[in-house]
Amino acid sequence: MVMALALVGLGLATARPAHALGKGRACMFNATEGANGLGHVGWAFRVGPADDWIYGATESASWNWQRESNYATMLATFRTTNGRGYYDHFRCKDTTNSSVTAAKNKVNQVYSRPYNVVNDNCLTRSVEIFKAYDSSFNNLGNGIGNGPNWYYDNQLIGFGGRIYL
């Protein structure tokens, strides 16, 4: 019994954290007219190489949401959430790794915290989720003190151009 526990402990000590499913992709969705013209954002990340996405947003102090579906359903969801046209475009970045479990855990963590319009909001939470998903996002600023539209237009280092919904 002691030997078995020792072997289990050794296995845990030498196990590497999983960069779970290889290459990934993450997207930030923008609602330019949200928050009285300062903008509003949502987040999305791909689960492995398949057409499977986890996505969501902090819409307000009392409303966080997340879903999992294919790419087409994700786009349809963002097209219609808060009324057709509220989310109007998005930008994406391919990643070399995708730590899906870490990102899902971060979603649960940020959604469990009290909302704060200045430093714990739709933007800062989206950035935290991206950073948990892949370390290539560590060069992104945390979003504190930035309007979502300004951040979306100026701070998404390595993200592609706008894709309109």
Q: Is residue 157 part of a domain?
A: yes
- Whole-angstrom distance, CA of residue 132 vs CA of residue 158: 17
- Phi–psi pair at 3, nearest 5 degrees: -65, -40
> What's the predicted TM-score (pTM) here?
0.88
CA distance 4 to 10: 10
Token pair, residue 69, equals 């579906």
Domain that holds residue 134: 19-164
- 10 domain-assigned: no
State the Cα–Cα distance between residues 137 and 128, nearest whole angstrom. Answer: 9
User: So what's the pLDDT on residue 116?
Assistant: 96
Q: What residues form DSSP beta bridges with 93?
A: 26
Angle formed by the axes of helices 100-112 and 122-133, to 10°? 160
**Does residue 9 belong to any structural domain of this protein?**
no
* Domain-located, residue 87: yes
The bridge status of strand 63-69 relative to strand 40-46 is unpaired
- pLDDT score, position 21: 66
Q: How many domains does the chain have?
A: 1
Residue 61 is assigned to a structural domain of this protein: yes
Domain assignment present for residue 12? The answer is: no
What is the predicted pLDDT for the residue at 22? 87
What's the CA gap between 153 and 104, in Å, rounded? 26
Q: Which residues contact 21 (CB under 8 A, 6 or more apart)?
A: 47, 48, 49, 98, 100
pLDDT digit of tens for each residue in the chain (165 aa)? 444 334 334 443 333 344 456 899 999 999 999 999 999 999 999 998 889 999 999 999 999 999 999 999 999 999 999 999 999 999 999 999 999 999 999 999 999 999 999 999 999 999 999 999 999 999 999 999 999 999 999 999 999 999 999
In-domain check, residue 118: yes
Say what the pLDDT of residue 13 is: 39
Region for 39 from its dihedrals, namely left if φ exceeds 0, alpha if ψ lies in -120 to 50, beta otherwise: left
Confirm whether 5 is domain-assigned.
Answer: no
